[in-house]
């Protein structure tokens, strides 16, 4: 213990949070010890029986748990999308995704799940209290929710919840403070995501809208991607573009990715997990619609990829695989909500239109709104999430769950889905703006110009992602014990901060002589 | 003719390159190098422990220029690359006896 504490720098926010979490867990465990009611079934003895129902139940357990594991694997895909960033910021983006996978799941465990699924019934187990607007049962999975069925639902939902953070990470990459990102989690995972999720998946007021069958969202186009994409947009808006992204007249520049191959790997890994995500959302092994769901998901994504690939080839003469990967993801996001309710031909159409929505939105966000979104998270997740919600209202053919859309001559469903879109935009946009506004004006959300120029990896995470490995390179020098006062180093850092802050004010100007955009000193030095 | 070797901060490379290109000295060779001068106090974290770093990443820019413009090029690099902090780098200027262009076999100033 003494070894761990030796040389510890200022205890930061994460440490104090983890300490408080442990304390909370300990206290509540003490309070609840031995208080399971008869209705809860922590061992599964009552849920399982050696008869037909028992076998059916255990098949469902196998199905939902295994698909849950493939969903966790999607985070590998998200992490690999970091190939589209500059080499100096890769660890930073990966840390953001990693924190979403770990800290995000923990916060969801403490409060998110209870708010989202309180009052929900799953495989015959009714989870405590909840009304149309909020749930309040299942905090820390204690008491009545200490039950095999509830906890299976928790696992499936917790791995899905981790995506929100990863989606936001793509839009705020290369310039966000780690502390602000962590603090935003407490707000996102306890309020923004679970409450909207409760209204749709927790059978709240949106689920029960009187138009059509009420809002339907099979595997999260709205609950996960539209909410995550909207938050990503708000985050990127409040952060502002990376230094040098836009020239003076607003022409966007580009920071080429350091390894587009990673993006291809990540996309296929995401697609693999996505099939499990959508098919597993049947939440029962006995629901054989799962085959249609998986096939729809696959072909919609493939159609999105092929559309973008052909378009990029026709436009530029090069088959742009990086963009095609985003097209794949756009198709997958768009089909997430309607995958169970539509026929395969409709899935292909949704994937095609999803790719068009992606390309149009990318152009709109970058060229018109001047928002800098390094990985295209806003266009892939936000815009296509909303499109996926609407697609149910158009293409649902009434063969599953009684959901029928415009193609069967039924307009009510589209109205429900439209309301869900507006609510998602207003809810995530409004609360997200409030959250980022408060963070921006208190602790600040953006790293200094020096850190941005030198790269976030070295400055925030202490080590570059890719170290030059040449024979001439010496191993690391002596270990530094503790945090010795380094006044000279501090003075240097201050000088650097000032120098890079001045550099950030430089503008990209168009050089008539050279015919290219160049970074130049501000005007006054040219006089 | 002079050969200019400038060792600069990697973060400053784009700015310096643009400034040189704007002034018409676009031809250069660039290498990523590691090294150290008097700079100290830089550390990295590996496996939860903080270590001193002996060699730091820098960028070396090499240009061959005519005698009369040498000073302008050097001043451009200094004014664009200067932060005032330790670790800004160094510029070495040396004499070149001749320059040949392989394509046309020209030599001297016209080959630069």
* Tokens representing residue A433 in the block: 């703006």
What is the C-alpha radius of gyration for chain B, rounded to an integer number of angstroms? Answer: 17
Mean pLDDT of chain A: 87
Does any CB of chain A come closer than 8 Å to the CB of residue B27? no
What CATH number matches the domain at B2-111, 3.30.1150.10, 3.40.1080.10, 3.30.70.120, 3.40.50.2300? Answer: 3.30.70.120
Q: CA nearest A525 in B: which residue?
A: B79
C-alpha A201/C-alpha A207 separation (Å) is 7
Place of tokens 């240009």: B63
pLDDT of amino acid A85: 95
Closest Cα partner for A141 from A131, A151, A149? A151
Q: What's the length of chain A?
A: 527
CB contacts < 8 Å between A and B, how many?
Answer: 80
pLDDT of amino acid A488: 72
For chain A, residues with pLDDT lower than 50 are 34, 471-474, 524-527
Q: Which residues of B touch A462 (CB under 8 A)?
A: 44-46, 50
C-alpha A64/C-alpha A71 separation (Å) is 10
pLDDT of amino acid A525: 45
C-alpha B5/C-alpha B90 separation (Å) is 8
pLDDT of amino acid A93: 96
Confidence (pTM): 0.86
Q: CA nearest B44 in A: which residue?
A: A462
Which ranges in A128-208 belong to alpha helices (H)?
148-172, 178-187, 193-200
Q: Give backbone dihedrals phi and psi of A2, rounded to 5 degrees, phi first.
A: -60, -35
- The domain defined by A10-442 folds into Ammonium transporter fold (1.10.3430)
Sequence ranges of the domains in chain B: 2-111
Q: Which residue has the higher pLDDT, B52 or B3?
A: B3
Of B21, B53, B80, the CB nearest to A477: B53
CA distance to A144, A292, A341, per residue, from A304 (Å): 44, 18, 19
DSSP 3-state percent helix, strand, coil across chain A (nearest 5): 65, 5, 30
Task: State the CB neighbour count (10 A cutoff) for residue A361.
Answer: 23
Residues 29-88 of B with CB under 8 A from A: 32, 34, 41-46, 49-55, 57, 80, 82-87
Pairing of strands B56-65, B43-46: unpaired
* pLDDT at position B44 over 90: no
Residues pairing with A252 in the sheet: A246
Interface residues from chain A to B (CB-CB < 8 Å):
453-454, 458, 461-464, 468, 470, 472-474, 476-480, 483, 486, 488-489, 492-493, 495-496, 499-500, 503, 506, 511, 513-514, 518-521
**Tens digit of each residue's pLDDT (9 = 90 or more) over A453-473:** 889 998 999 888 887 655 444
Q: What is the DSSP letter of A211?
A: S
Task: State the CB neighbour count (10 A cutoff) for residue A398.
Answer: 15
Say whether A125 sits in a helix, a strand or coil.
strand
Please indicate whether, in this complex, the C-beta atoms of A492 and B18 are within 8 angstroms of each other. no
pLDDT of amino acid B51: 74
The interface predicted TM-score of the complex, written ipTM, equals 0.74
* Tokens representing residue A169 in the block: 């990470």
Sequence ranges of the domains in chain A: 10-442
CA distance B64 to chain A (A): 20
C-alpha A194/C-alpha A189 separation (Å) is 7
pLDDT of amino acid A527: 37
Does any CB of chain A come closer than 8 Å to the CB of residue B22? yes
* Residues A56, A58, A61: CA angle, nearest 5 degrees: 115
* Tokens representing residue A152 in the block: 């299976």
**Tens digit of each residue's pLDDT (9 = 90 or more) over B57-89:** 889 999 999 999 999 999 999 998 998 888 889
Please indicate whether, in this complex, the C-beta atoms of B51 and A476 are within 8 angstroms of each other. yes
Q: Which residues of B touch A470 (CB under 8 A)?
A: 34
* Tokens representing residue A325 in the block: 């990967």
């Amino acid at each position: 213990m003494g070894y761990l504490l030796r040389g510890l720098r200022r205890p930061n926010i994460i440490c104090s949070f983890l300490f408080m979490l442990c304390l909370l867990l300990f206290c509540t465990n003490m309070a609840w010890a031995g208080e399971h009611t008869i209705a809860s079934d922590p061992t599964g003895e009552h849920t399982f029986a050696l008869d037909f129902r028992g076998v059916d139940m255990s098949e469902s357990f196998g199905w939902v748990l295994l698909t849950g594991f493939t969903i966790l694997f999607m985070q590998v895909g998200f992490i690999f999308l970091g190939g589209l960033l500059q080499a100096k910021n890769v660890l930073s983006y990966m840390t953001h995704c990693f924190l979403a996978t770990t800290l995000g799941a923990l916060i969801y465990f403490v409060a998110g799940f209870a708010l989202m699924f309180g009052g929900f019934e799953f495989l015959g187990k009714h989870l405590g209290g909840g009304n149309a607007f909020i749930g309040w049962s299942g905090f820390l999975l204690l008491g009545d929710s200490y039950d095999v069925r509830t906890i299976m639902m928790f696992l499936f939902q917790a791995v899905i919840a981790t995506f929100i953070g990863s989606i936001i990470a793509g839009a705020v990459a290369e310039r966000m403070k780690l502390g602000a990102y962590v603090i935003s989690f407490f707000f996102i995972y306890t309020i923004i995501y679970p409450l909207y999720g409760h209204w749709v998946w927790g059978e709240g007021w949106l689920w029960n809208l009187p138009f059509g069958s009420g809002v339907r969202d099979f595997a999260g186009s709205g609950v996960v991607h539209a909410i995550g994409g909207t938050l990503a947009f708000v985050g990127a808006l409040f952060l502002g573009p990376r230094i040098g992204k836009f020239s003076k007249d607003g022409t966007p520049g580009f920071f080429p990715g350091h390894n587009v191959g990673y993006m291809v790997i990540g996309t296929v890994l995401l697609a693999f997990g996505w099939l499990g995500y959508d098919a597993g959302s049947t939440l029962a092994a006995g629901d054989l619609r799962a085959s249609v769901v998986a096939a729809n998901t696959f072909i919609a994504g493939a159609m999105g990829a092929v559309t973008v690939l052909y378009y990029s080839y026709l436009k530029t003469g090069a088959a742009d695989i990086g963009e095609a990967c985003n097209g794949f993801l756009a198709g997958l996001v768009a089909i997430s909500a309607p995958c169970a309710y539509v026929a395969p031909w409709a899935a292909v159409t949704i994937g095609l239109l999803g790719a068009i929505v992606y390309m149009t939105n990318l152009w709109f966000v970058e060229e018109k709104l001047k928002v800098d979104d390094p990985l295209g998270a806003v266009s892939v997740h936000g815009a296509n999430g909303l499109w996926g919600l609407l697609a149910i209202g158009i293409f649902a053919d009434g063969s599953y769950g009684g959901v029928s859309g415009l193609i069967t001559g039924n307009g009510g469903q589209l109205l429900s889905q439209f309301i869900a879109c507006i609510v998602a935009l207003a809810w995530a946009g409004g609360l997200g703006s409030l959250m980022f506004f408060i963070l921006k004006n208190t602790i600040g959300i953006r790293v200094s110009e020096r850190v941005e120029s030198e790269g976030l990896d070295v400055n925030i995470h202490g080590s570059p992602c890719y170290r030059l490995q040449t024979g001439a390179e010496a191993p690391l020098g002596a270990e530094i014990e503790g945090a010795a006062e380094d006044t000279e180093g501090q003075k240097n850092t201050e000088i650097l901060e000032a120098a890079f802050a001045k550099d950030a004010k430089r503008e990209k100007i168009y050089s008539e002589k050279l015919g290219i955009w160049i970074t130049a000193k501000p005007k006054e030095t040219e006089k | 003719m002079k050969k200019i070797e400038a060792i600069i901060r990697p973060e400053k490379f784009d700015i310096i390159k643009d400034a040189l290109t704007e002034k018409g000295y676009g031809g250069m060779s660039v290498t990523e190098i590691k090294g150290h001068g008097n700079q100290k106090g830089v550390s990295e974290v590996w496996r939860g422990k903080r270590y001193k770093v002996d060699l730091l990443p820098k960028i070396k820019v090499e240009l061959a220029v005519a005698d009369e413009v040498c000073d302008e090029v050097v001043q451009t690099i200094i004014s664009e690359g200067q932060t005032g902090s330790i670790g800004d780098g160094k510029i070495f200027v040396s004499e070149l006896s001749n320059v040949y262009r392989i394509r046309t076999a020209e030599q001297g100033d016209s080959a630069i």
